[in-house]
Amino acid sequence: MSPTRDLFGAKILVVDDKEANVMLLDGMLRTAGYTNVSTTRNPRDVCALQRRDRYSLILLDLHMPGMSGFEVLDELTSLDADDYAPVLVITAQPVHKLRALQEGARDFISSPFELDEMLLRVRNMLEVRLLHEAARDHGKAQESLAVTDALTGLANRRLLEDRLVMAVAHARREQGSMATIYLDLDGFKEINDTLGHASGDTLLKMVADRLTATVREEDTVARLGGDEFVIVLRVSGAADAERVAGKVIDAVAKPYVIGAHAASVTVSAGIGLYPSHGEDAETLLKSADRALYEAKRSGKNNYRVAVQ
């Protein structure tokens, strides 16, 4: 979507207790090309409407019976304490302009207002709002990229390390158990060699989906790179971890369809249990890795539990 379409499609709320003013502002905005304009004559509804619809701009009259524009401003700034409260106030009293800005308004219009000035201030505020939203969304995207695998969307090594440390700490505090399952695909190189790397990437994403579907939402599934994955989960003991490993092996072994091609791949798994095979994250992961090596060495498409 182009910036201009974003601008004229932005959500705008007009707040004024006088019906004539509401109709005037609504008509001016729609004539100028804004297509998503809402109105209310009840200032007590504003915060609920903003919470529900997240307006990019609120045109707010300061002088309304029952609840003043300043009271509405106070509620809006509390609602958006960590965000950008997009309020453009309308006032016929110049003495109130500074107070409105101090209390969270982003700009003001003097009443009676000039049409061209009003539309320019609306456009300027919307442009700033859209820039603010783009910067916020970009920051969230960058933050997500820092802790997720770009191909599969799973946790990456950095996030895995954090989650593993937290899981160990929780198990220690609760005097319970948790498991790390280290996974490596069997025969993945052949998929890349015969169908190409694009198909290999598709297969990795399909495997990631199957792994995620096999475990609980609170468990962590991570991709370390290549065809290596790790699952971190709370368990009641070795039998619980072995049950999950078996489910994972069965799920991964089911056939895949990639484009016009049928493909198959299996997975080997190594299980490390806290506290039996390590009392810290690093030792636990190494124990699971050694168990994975034993699973590979014993014929693949199976699992092994680390030895003490």
Q: Which amino acids are annotated catalytic?
A: 227
The answer to whether the beta carbons of residues 12 and 55 sit under 8 Å apart is yes
Of the candidates 174, 154, 146, the one whose C-alpha atom is nearest the C-alpha of residue 223 is 154
Of the candidates 170, 174, 270, 286, the one whose C-alpha atom is nearest the C-alpha of residue 219 is 170
R_g (Cα) of the chain, nearest Å? 29
| β-strands 37-40, 57-61 pairing | unpaired
Burial of 24 (0-12, 13-18, 19+ CB in 10 A): middle
Q: How far apart are CA 269 and CA 257, in angstroms?
A: 23
Q: How far apart are CA 93 and CA 110, in angstroms?
A: 8
Name residue, tokens 């201009």: 4
Between helices 115-147 and 157-174, what is the axis angle to 10°?
Answer: 70
C-alpha distances (whole Å) from 225 to each of 5, 58, 157, 170, 185 are 40, 47, 8, 27, 12
Q: How far apart are CA 120 and CA 114, in angstroms?
A: 10
Burial 36-52 (b: 16+ CB within 10 A, else e): ebebbeebeebbebbee
